[in-house]
Amino acid sequence: MDDRPDRFVHETGRHRVALLETQGITKKFGGLTAVDHVSLKLADAELRCIIGPNGCGKTTLFNLITGHYKPSGGRILFQGRDITGQAVHRISRMGIGRKFQVPGVFDELTVYENIRVPFFSGQRQPMLMFGRMDAAAHDEIMANLAGIDLASKAGEPASNLSHGQRQWLEIGMVLASRPRLMLLDEPTAGMTVAETRKTARLIRRISAQTGISILVIEHDIGFIREIGGHITVMYKGAIFREGSYRQIQEDPAVREIYLGRRR
């Protein structure tokens, strides 16, 4: 894994390692071009938001990165390696974790088991049928649950959780799989203002403490302001603008297509 030279790219004025890079990635559904030559570079430990109106191709871009869709053109590099068109579980194993728009928690499993599933993914231990949990693994899972404020719910089925708690649980699940890159698809959809703020703080804390690169699709402007960092605006499948929150907010063209229409 570490036999390749690191790739340095020029990014917002600093030299950083590009963890993820899409090169002219394109996806067509029949006559519709959902993602149109998107070239995106995400540095190591970077926290970035992607915004854009509905149907602008944000989720399709995620589906291309995770291998759910095969691109019609272009390449995707992860840690310098070409992962274009690889199987979903292979890409996931390389260290790309994803939180879905609709909470993808396992309803029939307990909150604890929900963390346990991704915890054993990757190369942690061979999946022997008679394997057992060691104490260290248990402590790590409980620490994960404490981080998302769900330790007291460990024994309850995930179906008992509130909407916000389910979103946090899924963030905890993605985190438990020890990704290098987290893709979060609208993590605050349907949340109250207080829950949204808490989620933003949670994501910022994860970014600062773990150094995991995080790519967030969001609609909520309050959330994006709270997150800070670099913002990519997508429009009609292509990258429209990139910049800081202030630059994006003050850009009249962005206001026109996106912010302006939001009250």
In angstroms, the CA 129 to CA 246 distance is: 53
In angstroms, the CA 256 to CA 174 distance is: 35
With binding defined as CB under 8 A, does residue 116 bind another protein? yes
With binding defined as CB under 8 A, does residue 1 bind another protein? no
Backbone angles phi, psi at 160, to 5 degrees: -80, -10
Of 25, 33, 29, nearest in space to 83 by CA: 25
The CA-to-CA distance between both ends of the chain, in Å, stands at 48
CB of 3 to another protein, least distance (A): 22
With binding defined as CB under 8 A, does residue 155 bind another protein? yes
In angstroms, the CA 19 to CA 239 distance is: 19
CB of 176 to another protein, least distance (A): 9
Interacting residues with another protein between 221 and 260 (CB under 8 A)? none
Interacting residues with another protein between 173 and 212 (CB under 8 A)? 173, 177
Q: Please identify, using beta-carbon distances, which residue of 31 and 126 lies nearer to another protein.
A: 126
- HSE at residue 139, side-chain half, CA atoms within 13 A, is 3
Helix (H) or strand (E) holding 74: strand 73-78
Contact predicate 62/217, CB 8 Å: yes
CB of 20 to another protein, least distance (A): 17
Q: Please identify, using beta-carbon distances, which residue of 108 and 139 lies nearer to another protein.
A: 108
Q: Tokens for 256?
A: 């026109």
Q: Applying CB under 8 A, what is the total number of residues that bind another protein?
A: 38
Q: Which of 133, 193, 208, 253 binds another protein (CB under 8 A)?
A: 133
Residue with tokens 């609208």: 186
Contact predicate 198/148, CB 8 Å: no
With binding defined as CB under 8 A, does residue 92 bind another protein? yes
Q: Which of 128, 135, 136, 194 binds another protein (CB under 8 A)?
A: 128
Using the rule CB under 8 A, give the single segment among 40-48, 95-103, 145-153, 218-226 that binds another protein: 95-103
List interacting residues with another protein (CB under 8 A). Answer: 66, 88-90, 92-93, 97-98, 100, 104-110, 113, 116-118, 120-122, 125, 127-133, 155-157, 159-160, 173, 177
